[in-house]
Amino acid sequence: MRGARELIVAAALGAAAVTACAEAESPVAERAAATRAAPSAGSPSLRRPQPLRVARPARLVIPSLGVSTRLETLGLLADGRLAPPRDPDRAGWWRGGPRPGRPGAAVIAGHVDSRSGPAVFARLGRLRRGDRIVVVDRAGRAIPFSVIRTEEHAKDRFPTQRVYGRTQGRALRLITCSGAFDRASGHYRSNVVVFAAHQPAT
């Protein structure tokens, strides 16, 4: 049975939602959803990995892109959409999901640009398999991840379940906008999604 917290989050969010691209600061939209993937019929039981002792995330570092950004904490807007980061030069962690390093898919979103130029995730689509991502929590612990793949999807075909659904381990998703910018609607037409997995120290 799901815990009370999961039920509250699921009820509050429901289906996928997108923030408006025409927000005051930037023509950038971030997609958010909190659907929980049910195990497929006949799938074997999997033991959950033991939770790491991690505090709230404080900083995101992507060495290959030269990114080192403090993390905002993202909540929801009144209509259930994920609130975008206030500062285009900072990424934000969605507090409705797990902390990076804990079981499940932690989600970090960032702007691709702003009215003044490129933003924190301007080059996110360049990440490739094996690239390193590090999240540093408020206690100073570095939690390393390794990129599995980078995908681009039209917003109307966004893979909500694969991004926000259950995972078998500790996962990280980075999201930003991409593709053509539709001036009529004020939205980018696509999203870049980076899928990464926790990389334990050897």
Domain membership of residue 48 (yes or no) is no
Is the per-residue pLDDT at 192 higher than 70? yes
> Lowest-confidence range among 12-26, 88-102, 124-138?
12-26
DSSP 65: G
Residues facing residue 171 across a β-bridge: 105, 197
pLDDT in tens, 70-122: 999 998 888 777 788 999 999 999 999 999 999 999 999 999 998 899 999 99
Q: How far apart are CA 2 and CA 39, in angstroms?
A: 13
Domain membership of residue 7 (yes or no) is no
Report yes or no: 144 and 132 within 8 Å, Cβ to Cβ. yes
Domain membership of residue 4 (yes or no) is no
Question: Whose structure tokens read 């990280």?
Answer: 172
Q: How far apart are CA 63 and CA 61, in angstroms?
A: 6
At 60 the pLDDT is 98
Report yes or no: 101 and 8 within 8 Å, Cβ to Cβ. no
**CA-CA distances (angstroms) from residue 65 to 59, 68, 120, 125, 192?**
15, 9, 10, 10, 15
The CATH number of the domain where 58 resides is what? 2.40.260.10
Sequence-distant (6+) residues with CB within 8 A of 156 are: none
**More confident: 20 or 190:** 190
Total structural domains within the chain = 1
Is the per-residue pLDDT at 22 higher than 80? no
At 189 the pLDDT is 80
Residues facing residue 175 across a β-bridge: 109, 193
By the 10 Å C-beta count (0-12 exposed, 13-18 middle, 19+ buried), 141 is classed as: middle
Report yes or no: 87 and 23 within 8 Å, Cβ to Cβ. no
Across 166-195, average pLDDT: 87
The per-residue b/e assignment along 13-48, b for 16 or more CB within 10 angstroms, e otherwise, is beebbbbebebeebbbbbbbbbbeeeeeeeeeeeee
At 21 the pLDDT is 36
pLDDT in tens, 145-178: 999 999 999 988 888 889 988 888 999 999 999 8
Of the pLDDT bands very low, low, confident and very high (cuts 50, 70, 90), residue 7 is very low
At 9 the pLDDT is 40
Question: Whose structure tokens read 């991409």?
Answer: 178
Is the per-residue pLDDT at 47 higher than 60? no
Domain membership of residue 166 (yes or no) is yes
Q: How far apart are CA 195 and CA 46, in angstroms?
A: 21
CB atoms within 10 A of CB 1: 5
Domain membership of residue 190 (yes or no) is yes
Provide the residue range defining the domain that includes 130.
Answer: 16-35+53-198
